[in-house]
Amino acid sequence: WPAAYGGRDLTPRELAIFSEELALSRAPRPANVIGLEMIGPTILSHGTEGQKKRYLPPLLSGEEIWCQGFTEPGSGSDMASLRTRATADEVGWRINGQKVWTSFAHEARWCMLLARTSEAGHRGLTCVLVDMHQPGVRTRQIPQITGDAEFNEVFFDDAVVGADDVLGEVGGGWQVAITTLMHERANLAIALAVDVQVALLELLALIRGRELDPILGDRLAQLAAECEVLRTTAILT
Ligand SMILES: Cc1cc2nc3c(=O)[nH]c(=O)nc-3n(C[C@H](O)[C@H](O)[C@H](O)COP(=O)(O)OP(=O)(O)OC[C@H]3O[C@@H](n4cnc5c(N)ncnc54)[C@H](O)[C@@H]3O)c2cc1C
């Protein structure tokens, strides 16, 4: 993260080491993880100077939490089919539609939203920065089996986005979204891969000294190999 925007000018490799050490020491996840690991780096790549100055310092300090609005009830892996619409008007853009599985939307001040601005498939998508604290935005938490509720449905009903709050080009949302997802694969995956490894080590400590069913032993060995593949893939991404 560049020093000019409040970072320490460290390399991606150093960030990977930091994430791994945090996970190994079982430290709590940093707040604003979507902002820090995914959206901040996307604004650094695609944002205007004005957007970087406005959004990055409070994102880094945790004063403004971010969420990522890509997935919709009818649009998951096939992201180019999404239907939430951004329509140009005299104030900038009006947003209408629904997102789902939006992590931390109930805590977020800003949403990096992928919306449809024309019918041209993935070339008809535009990324906009939506203020979540406005009457046109409503969030509903989705309860999980664990008792937590960190995912949300988010409803946009004529929500307003300023003309300056398009991230990247109009119609260039696909490239912006791919940048975000690449950062998710790299930054977030390292911490999650180490979490799985730590859980596996704890399991091995529990069963040490006990007689082990050979089939179960094979499955544990397979799991250990898959964990290492996940971690190495994340580091190389
Ligand atoms: C922990 C977690 C946090 C999330 N947070 C967010 C968030 O903050 N913001 C956000 O926007 N989204 C979020 N999501 C949603 C996530 O991005 C979607 O789950 C993802 O895009 C997949 O969409 P889907 O769940 O509708 O699955 P589907 O697209 O319905 O896929 C279901 C299964 O079908 C397979 N499949 C799909 N299409 C094909 C095909 N053409 N050929 C073969 N197989 C196929 C998939 O591989 C998958 O196994 C989150 C998801 C999780 C699990």
How do residues 127-146 score in pLDDT, each as one tens digit? Answer: 999 999 999 999 999 999 99
| Any domain includes 216 | no
HSE-CB for 104 with a 13 A CA cutoff: 17
Of the listed 90, 184, 202, 211, which one is catalytic?
184
Give the pLDDT confidence score for residue 7 in this predicted structure: 85
Collapsing DSSP states into helix, strand and coil, what is residue 103?
A: coil
| Any domain includes 155 | yes
| Any domain includes 124 | yes
Give the pLDDT confidence score for residue 73 in this predicted structure: 97
At 21, the pLDDT band (50, 70, 90 cuts) reads confident
Residues 97-113 have a mean pLDDT of 98
User: Would the pLDDT of 232 be above 90?
Assistant: no
Which CATH number fits the domain that encloses residue 12?
2.40.110.10
Give the pLDDT confidence score for residue 195 in this predicted structure: 82
Give the pLDDT confidence score for residue 234 in this predicted structure: 80
| Any domain includes 214 | no
User: Would the pLDDT of 230 be above 90?
Assistant: no
Give the pLDDT confidence score for residue 28 in this predicted structure: 82
How do residues 164-215 score in pLDDT, each as one tens digit? Answer: 999 999 999 999 999 999 988 887 787 788 788 888 888 888 988 888 899 9
- Rounded to 10°, the helix 189-207/12-24 angle is 30
Give the Cα separation of 32 and 34 in Å (integer): 6
What's the total number of domains in the chain? 1
Ligand 1, atom 47, lies closest to the CA of 77
What DSSP state is assigned to residue 64? S
| Any domain includes 218 | no
Sign of the CA dihedral with 195 first, then 182, 74, and 173 last: positive
Q: In this predicted complex, what is the ipTM? A: 0.95
| Any domain includes 105 | yes
Ligand 1, atom 38, lies closest to the CA of 77
Give the pLDDT confidence score for residue 170 in this predicted structure: 97
Q: Give the Å distance between the CA of 72 and the centre of ligand 1.
A: 10
Domain hosting 77: range is 3-180
Helix (H) / strand (E) element for 95: namely strand 92-100
The verdict on the CB of residue 146 being under 6 Å from ligand 1 is: no
Cβ proximity of 175 and 126 under 8 Å: no
Burial of 211 by CB count in 10 Å (0-12 exposed, 13-18 middle, 19+ buried)? exposed
| Any domain includes 233 | no
| Any domain includes 203 | no
Give the pLDDT confidence score for residue 78 in this predicted structure: 96
Q: Mean pLDDT, the chain, as a whole number? A: 92
Which atom of ligand 1 lies nearest, measured to the CA of 104? 8
